[in-house]
Structure 1
Amino acid sequence: MNDAPIKAVLGPTNTGKTHLAIERLCAHSSGAMGFPLRLLAREVYDRVVAIKGEKDVALITGEQRIEPPGARYLCCTVEAMPRSANERAFVALDEAQLAADRERGHVFTDRLLNARGRDETMLLGAATLEPMVRSLIPRAEISERPRFSTLTHIGPRKLSRLPPRSAIVAFSAEQVYAVAEMLRRFRGGAAVVMGALSPETRNKQVELYQNGEVDYIVATDAIGMGLNLDVNHVAFAGLTKFDGVRMRRLQPAEMAQIAGRAGRHQRDGTFGTLAGAGGKMGPSPEFTEEEIYAIEEHRFAPITKLFWRNPEPRFDSLGTLIADLERPPEHEALRLAPEAIDLATLKRLAEEPLARDVRGAGAVRRFWEACSLPDFRARGPDVHARFVARLWQDLRQGYIGADFVAARISELDNTSGDIDTLQGRIAAIRSWAYICQRPDWVLARDEMASRARGVEAKLSDALHARLTERFVNRRTAILMKSLGQDASMLPITLGEDGTLLVEDEALGKVEGFRFTVDPSANHADRKMLLAAAEKALPRILGERAEKLAATDLAELELSRGAIRWNGQVLAKLAEREGQVKPALEPSREVASLPDQPRKALLGAIDGWLDKHLEPLEPLRKMHIASANPEAGSQARALLLNLISGHGFVTREKAGIEHLPKEMRPFLRKIGVTFGALDIFAPLLLKPAPRQLLSALGIDRRPLQEAMLPVIPDQKKLPAGYRHAGSQAIRLDLAEKIFRAAHEARSKAGKSRKFRLDLALPISIGLEERNVERLLGQAGFRVLRARPLAEGAFGPPRPDSWEWRPSRRKQQRAKPAKTSAPREGSAFAGLADLIKQG
């Protein structure tokens, strides 16, 4: 301790406290400043370097050390502030009120009580710290500084009504991401700043905001710790936070610390809450009248206790060390700090077998330094204790090998993955960066530290890219900033994959001739995107139509009654009476094409359709014959039945009994076969015409694509098949079997019985019992042969067959008998007149 002056500069944000401390630092021959965040330490480091030069300024944080030989000025995080800082002319502690923080307060209290400059000491903090300064440092000179600008509450604001240059503050990563995602959709994007980001990532995100690429920044409460941004308004997405123990409402002083980021120097600022958030962020937060008054007038309850932990424990043994760290303070203004992660880790590992070998002051001190490794990964005491235990296994042997450290760093040198994955890797590499900064932990320390910093820089660049990709909508920024609402002036091109682009940003997708707006576009953007597309699409789609028409149209397909290109409908097909070829009904997108490209495309499609309808030539001939007056009404009726059946009809439904025999050659000439049970066109039973009829949507019956000879029986048979017991057979093959049976019958002469060889139907694929059922439909009956007499030898007697046509058919063929009218009746008289006539 010395008698050099101690000055406590207290007041709200935007009072110039940090600026004053930097001026005093640079006015002395040497100095050191302690900051609550490495981001703030880096910011001040850059400012002092600009004044004093790189050779005279050092940056010391847990994970990074930039220490030029003979550096006279130190910018440090409070935890990394070296004891040698007291040897310098000037020492300053920023945000000293954090001595009342549960987790880190004991570190700030130690620096507040013990960090002293040779010529001057400056304590910077909130006005609420004044009673503690008077109690603990009676000789300190206290001065209060007024805020340069006013801070005004403007109430809740929805995202759509947030003023530009606003900062939205959330209290969890989930909240930060949710707000940033909404801003991307509604306002073109936002920068994201969280305490867990590396300085490189944070600086790049801030640059997005500062250079005007985005008008909004979403941050955690770390923004309240002195980060200087060009912010006009601060909106709170919530008013509660988890303090390490429980969820609680922010204290008015904490609210003011954050809200004070609005307005800088002489420019006034505003604050409020984010309205209408709902969903994952819970109900919309609201300030009370008392909180608003306190923030606007900078009146807060004073701090009454600071957290303290013995800064100089004894290292005689682990038990002694733990006892000293848990020893309560003697001063009434101090309170014993809650168990921090380092002490919790020490107490856990002290009970493990590995602690038995930790003996002697040097080993105990080294063990405590290992337990003091920060939990950058925030995985909790148990997981962190296991990591420290593994670390100690190496440290107790001396140094950690460079090869081992290099391998661990190399494992993290991977820039793939999403935001959470990259943040996890950055947290892990921060642990190794901290380990590599220790002077007596790692061999080849400088090289390993450089590697760790390099990997962190790579991961930070990747994280910045992911954050920008996810939360900044450059397309919206182009539409809203570059050209306002006149999106039709944008240069629009069509990518090879069908993406409609404006300055390499997607407006939507063109599939076939249909444009779909990018589904990620919000409602306001959709109007601008459509306006731009409507101006450019006629030209672009017209060129695409002409290019397609000039090809062989090999990519077109017929399916479900439409002609499609890459899955998109170009034209629907409508049946035309008396014609096989359907009419083309162009889709709405094709109909909207300019005249010349539309006609060229439809003409090409029409020619393509003619070529693809060739397998239906027999059906086309039937249409022509049915329209021929010379065919006669009976032939036309049969043809219409065949056309209606798409190539086949049963004899029962064909009306064949009325067809003159002289018309049959005419019909056979156009491909009609008169079978025993069916009348059909064999060429239309081939796979190609059946598939084509199904694709055209004309024949809606089940389709057997390969038109196999025999298939399993079904309740609803595919077109062109006949039931045959447990199987079904194609009509033309069934007719072949019927004819073979009739030929066998005719060879038997006058005998009613005849022999029938079943080799043909069995070779086709019919089972023997199903052959009998099929032939039974045509009137053939099997007569089982008598078995051989008992004791007789030789082949079994073959079965015989006979043909017995259905009596019902015979009766239907005979004219109906009419009974004579009763004699003397009026009908009998009418009958006599007819006979006489």
Structure 2
Amino acid sequence: MNILLDKSKTVSLDGRGVTAVLGPTNTGKTHLAIERMVAHSSGVIGLPLRLLAREVYTKVAARVGVGNVALITGEEKIIPPNARYSVCTVEALPRQTDAAFVAIDEVQLAADLERGHIFTDRMIHLRGREETLFLGAATMRGILERLFKGISIISRPRMSVLTYAGSKKITRLPRRSAIVAFSADEVYAIGELIRRQRGGAAIVLGALSPRTRNAQVELYQSGDVDYLVATDAIGMGLNLDVDHVAFAQNSKFDGFHYRELTAAELAQIAGRAGRHTRDGTFGVTGQVDPFPDALVEAIETHRFDPVKVLQWRSADLDFSSIDALRISLDRPPAIEGLTRALPATDQRVLEYLSREDDIRSLVSGRARVQLLWDACALPDYRKIAPAQHAEIVGAIFRDLVRYGHVDEDYMASQVAKASSTEGEIDTLSQRIAQIRTWTFVSHRPGWLSDSTHWQEKTREIEDRLSDALHERLTKRFVDRRTSVLMRRLRENAMPEAEINPSGEVLVEGHHVGEMQGFRFTADRTAEGEDARAVKAAAQKALAAEFELRAERFAAAPNGDLALGSDGILRWLGAPVGTLVATDDVLKPRVVLLADEQLTGAARDKVAARAERFVNYQIETHLKPLLDLRDAETLTGTARGLAFQLSENFGILNRRDVAEEVRALDQDARAALRRLGVRFGAYHIFVPALIKPGPAGLATLLWALKNDAREKPGYGDVVAALAAGRTSIVTDPQFDRAFYRLAGFRNLGRRAVRVDILERLADLIRPTLGWKPGSGKRPEGAYGNESFVVTPAMMSILGATAEDMEAILKGLGYRAEAKPAEEVQAHLAALGATETAPAAEAKPAPAAETTPSTEEGEQSSAAAAEETAGEQPAAEAPAAETATPTTEEAAATAPAGEPAAEEAPKPVLVWRQARFERRPQPQRDRKAAEKSRNRDARPAEGRGQDRPKKGEGKKGDQRRPKREERPVKIDPNSPFAALAALKEQLRK
């Protein structure tokens, strides 16, 4: 077909035998072309995309057999020897053919600025012997009728209705939606948002290899994900089950500048919504202004501005020289309705290489010029700068001229650069684009000495890269777990659930969360639709697990349950309940920590078992308290004292109940002892309740009642109980009553365990009762009913000398500071052989553990009670220190005097306060031994063999009345002077 180039003459093209099938998307045009082609003996069809060519090739091969169909693209050639049909990209279509049938799809692309001239050229020159079809949009009707005289036009209506649905946020788009953007960055951002909120999306970009795009499309088509994020690459050839198309952008860079899409372009993409007779919708996201009414009407009715001109470039090229070739490429068209195309990539590369002297020197003769033009046709898959692309084309052309083929080493090095599958999405995409360049080279006839090897090599690398890219895209934009769970939920199938020993919950093999006790905690990384799917699948899969766990918990032995210091009830380490206080501190209530799925009889079983365990713990550990509260054998003062002990968790300061203790007779005391009560020098207490277990439970119940579990100091005291500490440093911000409930007494900055204080009393008592000449001097005895602190005293308390001062003052002793030399001399005069006073000794290390509270109890209990009188003087309030302490003396020392450490520190000599009655020393060792033996008898046997009043001779015996001894008065005491003055006034 000849085309006159003289602009003074206008010619037209012959359209006889050509049929144009025009209409919007979803009209079945491509399907019609396939049906018509296989009806002929031979045929050729040109398609706009390699991806679509591969899809049509598969369909035709299924109809006529693989051996009868060829696939020809720039990067892939499958040509059986006896192929009757050829499926090609438009660029790969021959300019002439002897086939009976020819079809060119998406002919509206003839108006495209970049590729349009190729479509126009094939439409002008390529004809089938029997039938030629042009397939495209209805906007081509006018221009086709003007250019091709005698052409037949067939309009096909859309098989489904396309409706505008307005604007919606991306996260609220319906399932089976495609979100369209026009930059890779925007596509990635939307994909990540969809993954977080809705479980995942497939990604389709024009830069992806066909293998990767097919894999991503299959991911969507199979239902693994419900959303597709794509560029306008889905606008042609991809047949998808899309119900809604949402535009996240409406402008793009077309290779020359940014512009808004035309109504026809928007309709081409929006038309992907709907499948066959199923209707579809389109709209925008919150990032795009709603479409105006006129645009909406145009898309819904498929009425657009007609195409007025087609892009054209001369096919009659002059290869006599480079300059002649350049001139022939710039030749204008001679047909009205065609316009000269802008310089394409191949023409721009030619312009660049024509300025290089070495290239011009190699181009001699028509064959070399044509070879250079063939090299310039290498597609720029990488979309790099024209100069960089031109360098690759130049290197290939130089090898072809010098060696007759591309250098094998150069080819190998370039292929090796693109072979690695490491890296992220962008890196892999660039490598795929690079390997596609060399795949194209391997398919050019005569360009390689071993083209078959390189075709296989580049194809294998592209497949590996494509698979790796698909894996990266899926990993980044698809949550496989959520996609599987969502599909199972849609299928209304029961997911397979598994719970491993650590509590990890797996549904369909995917981690969805953890099951601890009767609570399911979903995976914390789950968000949006992901979280909903995880929760729904877990609830569905774990429906029976709650019933099974309830049965196991109800039958669980006590050893599997534990009540922590935080008030949490745990079953095999998992929390199942928490305690809350009630009006009765010894009867807390258990609140189950369980999901709503634990209901009915199963929940009742769990609650009953939890209540039973908590009650057992209280009845076991705090049994002495319950016995004191419910003791019916006690009467009068004894019963009142027992009630006070039960109300105060088994510890009373003796000074606070001195009158009640004084009023007890021996029978009442024996009855209280049988209930575990000990009468100490400083406290009336129940030793069994000071053990870590009972004390920990008592402090927990008090903390529940007083809402103190989160207060400072609670954890420290609980830790001290667990470690068996004898004393701890107190927190002034914490309630002092808490330390008492834990079995400690606050003395200065330390809290000391009450049983340890009684052991301290055992050490102090002999020192106060010793007199010179009455036997071996006890350690620390100073004479004159006074003592000095010894290392043994500090050791049992885990206290320093400074701590001891505060502790002893709190216990009711007063101190007198004396020079160290005087104290040493006094002790030497007494024949001291013991260690030096504690004031000069190093601080004792804090004692971490001590024997149980029962140890040593019998050694001091009787002596403390029977010989100390009714109210120990040690319980008296602390008197003011008679002389300044070491610190006070140092603070008042005149400036310039030697530092305190240069002189010996004064030693504190302690004595009981004289204004209170103090315990009498033991009358004799026999009485003390008798007292100890009495307390050493089992509680249940004490007093049982003593006759009651009036029951025989022994029962008639009465205890002799204790002889009152005069109280010695210290002549140095101010109270002595006051007493003498009163006596004189009385006389």
Q: Deviations over 1:635-659 (max 9, x none)?
A: 455545544444545455x433432
- Cα distance in 1 between the residues matched to 2:784 and 2:456: 110
2:803 aligned residue (763, 770, 773) = 770
- Cα distance in 2 between the residues matched to 1:309 and 1:710: 102
What letter is aligned with 2:818?
R
Q: Does 1:298 align with 2:298?
A: no
Q: What's the RMSD between the two structures over aligned residues?
A: 5.9
- Cα distance in 2 between the residues matched to 1:589 and 1:513: 6
What letter is aligned with 1:274?
G
Give yes or no for contact 2:121–2:312 (8 Å, CA) kept in 1. Answer: no
2:407 aligned residue (398, 404, 408) = 398
What letter is aligned with 2:154?
R
Q: Does 1:628 align with 2:631?
A: yes
Give yes or no for contact 1:200–1:460 (8 Å, CA) kept in 2. Answer: no
Distance 1:649 1:243, change over 3 A: farther
Q: Does 1:67 align with 2:79?
A: yes
Shift, 1:46, TM fit? 1.9
Q: Does 1:94 align with 2:105?
A: yes
Alignment of 1:364-763 (within 5 A): 372=378, 374-375=380-381, 381=385, 398-400=407-409, 411-412=420-421, 425=428, 428-429=431-432, 431-439=434-442, 440=447, 444-455=453-464, 458-459=467-468, 462=471, 495-497=498-500, 511-514=516-519, 537=543, 540-552=545-557, 554-559=559-564, 560-565=566-571, 570-573=576-579, 580=586, 582=588, 584=590, 593=599, 595=601, 601=606, 605=610, 608-609=613-614, 612=617, 617=621, 619-632=622-635, 634-651=637-654, 654-660=656-662, 662=665, 663=668, 666-667=671-672, 670-674=675-679, 677-694=682-699, 698=703, 700=708, 702-703=714-715, 704=717, 705=719, 706-716=723-733, 719-722=742-745, 728-748=751-771, 751-762=784-795
Distance 1:552 1:85, change over 3 A: farther
Give yes or no for contact 1:358–1:364 (8 Å, CA) kept in 2. Answer: no
Alignment of 1:742-821 (within 5 A): 742-748=765-771, 751-762=784-795, 765-778=798-811, 779-785=813-819, 800-805=907-912
Q: Does 1:273 align with 2:282?
A: yes
Give yes or no for contact 2:225–2:483 (8 Å, CA) kept in 1. Answer: no
Residue in 1 that maps onto 2:90: 78
- Cα distance in 2 between the residues matched to 1:146 and 1:163: 33
Give yes or no for contact 1:754–1:800 (8 Å, CA) kept in 2. Answer: no
- Cα distance in 2 between the residues matched to 1:722 and 1:347: 98
Q: Deviations over 1:770-818 (max 9, x none)?
A: 22332232314152325599xxxx999896543355689789xxxxxxx
Give yes or no for contact 1:309–1:336 (8 Å, CA) kept in 2. Answer: no
Shift, 1:89, TM fit? 6.7
Give yes or no for contact 1:241–1:249 (8 Å, CA) kept in 2. Answer: yes
Distance 1:634 1:197, change over 3 A: farther
What letter is aligned with 2:806?
R
Distance 1:740 1:203, change over 3 A: same
Shift, 1:394, TM fit? 13
Give yes or no for contact 1:31–1:85 (8 Å, CA) kept in 2. Answer: no
Distance 1:449 1:780, change over 3 A: same
Which secondary structure does the structure 2 equivalent of 1:495 belong to? strand
Give yes or no for contact 1:580–1:620 (8 Å, CA) kept in 2. Answer: no
What letter is aligned with 2:631?
N
Shift, 1:37, TM fit? 1.5
Range with greater deviation from structure 2 (252-261 or 564-573): 564-573
Q: Percent identity?
A: 29
Distance 1:767 1:515, change over 3 A: closer
TM-score normalized by the length of structure 2 = 0.62
Give yes or no for contact 2:547–2:598 (8 Å, CA) kept in 1. Answer: no
What letter is aligned with 2:498?
G
1:128 aligned residue (139, 142, 148) = 139
Q: Does 1:46 align with 2:52?
A: no
* Residue ranges of structure 2 left out of the alignment (5+ in a row): 4-12, 401-405, 773-782, 829-835, 841-903, 919-987
Shift, 1:11, TM fit? 2.3
Distance 1:714 1:571, change over 3 A: closer
What letter is aligned with 1:334?
T
What letter is aligned with 2:764?
A
Residue in 2 that maps onto 1:289: 294
Give yes or no for contact 1:405–1:448 (8 Å, CA) kept in 2. Answer: no
- Cα distance in 1 between the residues matched to 2:673 and 2:314: 110
Give yes or no for contact 1:11–1:125 (8 Å, CA) kept in 2. Answer: yes
Which secondary structure does the structure 2 equivalent of 1:715 belong to? coil
- Cα distance in 2 between the residues matched to 1:566 and 1:391: 73
Shift, 1:66, TM fit? 2.6
- Cα distance in 1 between the residues matched to 2:149 and 2:916: 125
Distance 1:529 1:622, change over 3 A: closer
The number of equivalent residue pairs is 769
TM-score normalized by the length of structure 1 = 0.71
- Cα distance in 2 between the residues matched to 1:242 and 1:621: 84
- Cα distance in 1 between the residues matched to 2:675 and 2:75: 91
Shift, 1:435, TM fit? 2.1
Distance 1:542 1:657, change over 3 A: same
What letter is aligned with 2:136?
G
Shift, 1:761, TM fit? 1.0
1:146 aligned residue (155, 159, 166) = 155
Distance 1:141 1:438, change over 3 A: farther
Give yes or no for contact 1:707–1:730 (8 Å, CA) kept in 2. Answer: no
Shift, 1:52, TM fit? 3.8
Distance 1:271 1:736, change over 3 A: same
Alignment of 1:289-368 (within 5 A): 289=294, 292-293=297-298, 296=301, 298-304=303-309, 306=311, 333-337=338-342, 360-361=362-363
Greater C-alpha Rg? 2
Residue in 2 that maps onto 1:815: none
What letter is aligned with 2:460?
R
- Cα distance in 2 between the residues matched to 1:627 and 1:48: 96
Give yes or no for contact 2:212–2:467 (8 Å, CA) kept in 1. Answer: no
- Cα distance in 1 between the residues matched to 2:588 and 2:567: 10
Distance 1:207 1:407, change over 3 A: closer
What letter is aligned with 1:97?
Q
Residue in 2 that maps onto 1:835: none
Distance 1:32 1:568, change over 3 A: same
Shift, 1:98, TM fit? 1.8
Q: Deviations over 1:88-135 (max 9, x none)?
A: 676543223223334444544555566677887654433434666678
Shift, 1:41, TM fit? 0.8
Shift, 1:146, TM fit? 1.0
Give yes or no for contact 2:628–2:645 (8 Å, CA) kept in 1. Answer: no
Distance 1:373 1:787, change over 3 A: farther
- Cα distance in 2 between the residues matched to 1:735 and 1:227: 91
Shift, 1:696, TM fit? 5.3
- Cα distance in 2 between the residues matched to 1:118 and 1:602: 88
